[in-house]
Chain A
């Protein structure tokens, strides 16, 4: 690079033309001094003095004819004044032990040490700490952005929690920051932004093309567009189809990540930020420069000696004057020297306790925050998933908008806010802009307004009940002996699996079906079946509820001993769902049988997704049950019953005849049957075989008609029933088990 930007600065009362890079280096140097002298009493004065001196040296350069202050000039000046790391070498004993070794070598002119810089050591970084400065220290050591180390820590949190505590206690702290190198940081790059500059900033940090990052962000959206006709919105709770998760979760995920990063990352405003964003360029020149500076610093250090004078080690024959001065210097030194003395056992123990307490509190707070976040996130996903149903439930206009407002502002705004705050805290960025924060709060307040309006208005919509009118249905043949209540087969519908929340079933764009039916069984006073039903609905007013209840069109059809009921109540987007339901009463005459089935619902559902059509036959109850779970005795008149069980009405109540589960259907497709059942079955087969053998024997003995065999025959006769009993017992056990398993799988 031959062109360099030169800026004019007013530095300690002197106007200096200076190269921009040189200025950045100078700024960093002053910053490092400030950090180093943090504990000093006369900190500002010292730094001011040094700044004056630097300005003077710069001025000298200009007087000697330099056009401007170059990077090399600044490097020379800094080297002559010394970097904090060099002071450290002159100051403390610990640093001296390593450095003086090289000092000796250099004095002997044996240049064995070559490009050896002062030894890098791991320190906790007290200046940039969040908890104990461990992450910042490691990042400093590895010359990385602390946010990366922190995110890694959090990812490995489980394992690293105790490791962190140990390091916190064990690693010493220092205020010396690595000086010279420019540390890369994540910024938003506003120069190359399309939306917020997030992608551009990330590309700078990772050193890849912007296009790569953009494509990564856009990929889910592109996939979605390619598959747009099979768009499965928020279907990630259905894990049976993995590709769904892939193309759906990524879309909102990428947007979410983008928004959070946008809010979290600071923009690269100053040229220093821009420099940090790219980090130090690593090419041969910069490496050479680094080595050169190191070498110069190294030889300087080799010739220099001494350091701040510690009064404690001065002559013991000090008079009163030096005593007062020693007291003073000790005060100023207490930050460095006094610490060693205080590092007694007790101090160490106390520090450990404090650290543990602090960590514990942070831990608890973290858990609370994460659980609140998870809950909000879950509610957010669920309610967002409910959006397609909105038009069937909510009134258009204000109520719908309040619902959307609730989802956006009451749920998603705090989620994004908390995530942002956590990441900012972890990243150690300064508090967010007051505007961002107050707009977050304002949006959340808006969310509160929305949610309270939404619930009050929704409650109002559901507040009134209709006046129930009982209607009866004339049966074609009410005098049958046996009635099987089952779902109407004639209505075929292809379930659209992209949306299916119990008890709703989307039928088409304008209609959903609500499986909201209760069946009561009562005793008939006549000798024929009687069927009555009541349609029920809620509404804003009694009139509205009545009209909605009237609109319920529920048909029942009898065919011999089968009674077919509608599969659900149709609800259009005009009428809305106001908890419409049907209560059907079946009066069963004494002595007659009935069954509310769950069998006979076997139907083929067709699943459409972008991989093609998949058919699936559902043959068990549970997934496809249409009858409301209502097996409790819900009023004095009616009886409780189980579905799929045949009952006979008696004077005293229901008598169970047989259950669908009673048929031993082991050889069915149930893969869930565990081995014990197979074993049981084996045993059963074996016993059956034994019985057959015995019966054959019996035949034989009868044929022989041998008197001696009569005893045997008797024995066998005795034996056989007991064996039969055993068979029955095993069979019963197997059935019970099967029932249990079915219940579980349901």
Chain B
């Protein structure tokens, strides 16, 4: 099995969920997303973030708004659409289910059968 491959797939799987989650909390500027994720020790390049946001926007999950700025031209802020909100809820539900299941599996005490089988061997 290719460990790296699995690793990167696991990371990718939650990336979109994380981004939606940040936007769901309120109107954001893309670099704020990067900052917030960085604070949580999750690194993403702006160069990959922008295409992702555009895709999500084109899919109707996000929308954007031009916000006047003091220092220069207006900036693009992203907000969640209703559709996006629904998608986010589905993803969150899935995430919760998954974490519970995964926790249950990876906690050794909660899994005596495996232990028994090991000792039997």
Contact = CB atoms under 8 A, between A and B. Distances in A.
A100 B8 contact: yes
Given A49-B30, A305-B11, A328-B58, A81 B45 contact: yes
A304 B58 contact: no
Contact of A308 (B7, B52, B58): B52
A601 to B, nearest CB: 87
Given A59-B72, A325-B59, A325-B87, A82 B46 contact: yes
Contact of B90 (A14, A82, A86, A317): A317
Interface in B37-60: 42-48, 50-60
B24 to A, nearest CB: 14
A508 interface: no
Nearest to A101: B4
Contacts of A49: 30, 50, 53-54, 76
A317 B94 CA distance: 7
Given A53-B46, A83-B47, A100-B8, A322 B90 contact: yes
Contact of A50 (B42, B50, B73): B50
A329 B12 CA distance: 15
Given A86-B47, A100-B7, A304-B44, A313 B73 contact: no
Interface in A38-64: 40-42, 45-46, 49-50, 52-53, 55-56, 59, 63
B8 A303 contact: no
A96 B12 CA distance: 12
A13 B75 CA distance: 11
Contacts of A12: 73
B42 A306 contact: yes
A325 B61 contact: yes
A300 interface: yes
B87 A322 contact: yes
Given A46-B54, A100-B4, A315-B94, A304 B45 contact: yes
Given A307-B15, A328-B59, A80 B90 contact: no
Interface in A272-327: 300, 303-310, 313-315, 317-319, 321-322, 324-325
Contact of A13 (B12, B31, B43, B73): B73
Interface residues of B, number: 46
Nearest to A304: B43
Contacts of A314: 13, 16, 91
Among A49, A83, A91, the most chain B Cβ lie within 10 Å of the Cβ of: A49
A674 to B, nearest CB: 74
B100 interface: no
A307 B52 CA distance: 9
A332 interface: yes
Interface string A137-151: 000000000000000
Contacts of A80: 45-46
Contact of B75 (A52, A307, A329): A52
A322 B56 CA distance: 11
A314 B93 CA distance: 13
Given A49-B54, A96-B5, A325-B60, A315 B91 contact: yes
B65 interface: no
Interface string A3-37: 00000000011100000000000000000010001
Contacts of A322: 87, 90-91
A574 B13 CA distance: 95
Contacts of A86: 45, 47
Interface in B64-109: 71-73, 75-76, 83, 86-87, 90-91, 93-94, 98
B59 A313 contact: no
Nearest to A326: B59
Give the interface SS of chain B, mostly helix, strand, loop or mixed: helix
A50 B31 CA distance: 11
Contacts of A83: 47
A90 B48 contact: yes
B50 to A, nearest CB: 5
A37 B51 contact: yes
A317 B16 CA distance: 16
B2 A97 contact: yes
Contacts of B46: 50, 53, 80-82
B5 A309 contact: no
A82 B47 contact: yes
A241 B59 CA distance: 78
Given A56-B72, A315-B94, A325-B87, A81 B47 contact: yes
Given A46-B50, A96-B4, A97-B2, A306 B44 contact: yes
B9 interface: yes
Contacts of A104: 4
Interface in A156-170: none
B87 to A, nearest CB: 5
Interface in A96-118: 96-97, 100-101, 104
A79 to B, nearest CB: 9
A14 B55 CA distance: 27
B115 to A, nearest CB: 30
Contacts of A41: 55, 58
A328 B8 CA distance: 23
B86 A305 contact: no
A100 B3 CA distance: 10
A300 B43 contact: yes
Given A52-B75, A96-B4, A97-B2, A306 B15 contact: yes
B47 A87 contact: yes
B78 to A, nearest CB: 10
A319 B73 contact: no
A527 B43 CA distance: 121
Contacts of A53: 30-31, 46, 50
Contacts of B60: 324-325, 328
B5 A319 contact: no
B76 to A, nearest CB: 7
A580 B54 CA distance: 86
A309 B90 contact: no
Contacts of A81: 45-47
By Cβ-Cβ distance, the 6 closest A-B pairs, closest first, are A304-B43, A82-B45, A309-B16, A82-B47, A100-B4, A13-B73
Interface of A: 12-14, 33, 37, 40-42, 45-46, 49-50, 52-53, 55-56, 59, 63, 80-84, 86-87, 90-91, 93, 96-97, 100-101, 104, 300, 303-310, 313-315, 317-319, 321-322, 324-325, 328-329, 332
18 contacts: A12-B73, A41-B58, A42-B54, A46-B50, A50-B50, A53-B50, A56-B75, A80-B46, A86-B47, A93-B5, A96-B8, A100-B7, A304-B45, A307-B15, A309-B52, A314-B16, A315-B98, A317-B90
Interface of B: 2, 4-5, 7-9, 11-16, 30-31, 42-48, 50-61, 71-73, 75-76, 83, 86-87, 90-91, 93-94, 98
Given A96-B4, A308-B12, A332-B55, 7 more contacts: A52-B75, A53-B30, A86-B47, A87-B48, A90-B45, A306-B43, A328-B60
